[in-house]
Amino acid sequence: MKKIFTMAMLLIAAQFAKAQTEKGNQTLGVNLQFQHSNSTGTNIDPVSKSITVQDQKSTSFYTGPIYSYFISNNLDLGGSLLYSSNRSTYGDAAGEQKQTNSSFGGTIFLRKYFMYQNKIGLRAGPYAAYSHSNSKFNNVPVNSVYDTKTTGDNYGAGINAELLYYPTSHLGVSLTLANVSYNHYKSDSGNRGRNSGDSVNATFLNSGLGVSVFYTFTGK
């Protein structure tokens, strides 16, 4: 009798854990990322031989909702919205420069899950994204002739990998491990002209802390 009870409990536990990533389930959560840097650099003018010390401070914040649906066991399809804000300050003896950037956009993705004991694992897959940005560059004093305002559009696609952990049966947390992407951008600075280009980027854990917290709804 004891053996039968133990086997029954193990089967129930296995089915309960599997329910997190099985077909028909849904997840709803939020993405969060924060970055801050503070550095000091020294510039030497090759003509006058003058030395300028420049301080640079930068703070970035990213957030937005995320939703997915498991189209099969350990495979979900979903999308997310993103808002980001960045503020940078460059200062030296000649004055101060400030740059502010904000953007909003969305992403669609397909992710494959690789779980260990249905508690910890990896998920990875391709995605496509679009974002629109607004940037301002100001010198001190304000209203300098060098101030600029720029709008831009960015189109991207890539592959993302995340570390995944379920502290409870429904609550999950993921940490971005790596991201490889291709991006095409267009920008417009008004009288200062337009610009466009392409880039390939690879970022890893040490490039910024990206965290996603989500809740899983079972399909049953």
Residues 84/61, Cβ–Cβ less than 8 Å: yes
pLDDT of residue 53: 62
Least Cα distance to 37 among 5, 71, 60 occurs for 60
Q: Pull the structure tokens for residue 100.
A: 């502010």
Q: Is 18 exposed, middle or buried (0-12, 13-18, 19+ CB in 10 A)?
A: middle
Q: Number of helices and strands (H, E) in the chain?
A: 1, 9
pLDDT of residue 32: 85
Query: Along the chain (220 residues), what's the average pLDDT of each consecutive run of 10 residues?
Result: 44 51 93 75 63 72 93 96 88 69 95 90 96 83 66 95 92 91 90 86 71 84
Architecture of domain 2-217: Beta Barrel (2.40)
Residue 42 three-state SS:
strand
pLDDT of residue 129: 96
Cβ-proximal residues to 51 (8 Å cutoff; 6+ apart), any chain: 42, 43, 44, 45
pLDDT of residue 146: 61
Domain map (residue ranges) of the chain: 2-217
Residues 160/178, Cβ–Cβ less than 8 Å: yes
pLDDT of residue 58: 80
Q: Is 104 exposed, middle or buried (0-12, 13-18, 19+ CB in 10 A)?
A: middle
Q: Are strands 51-72 and 75-92 parallel, antiparallel or unpaired?
A: antiparallel
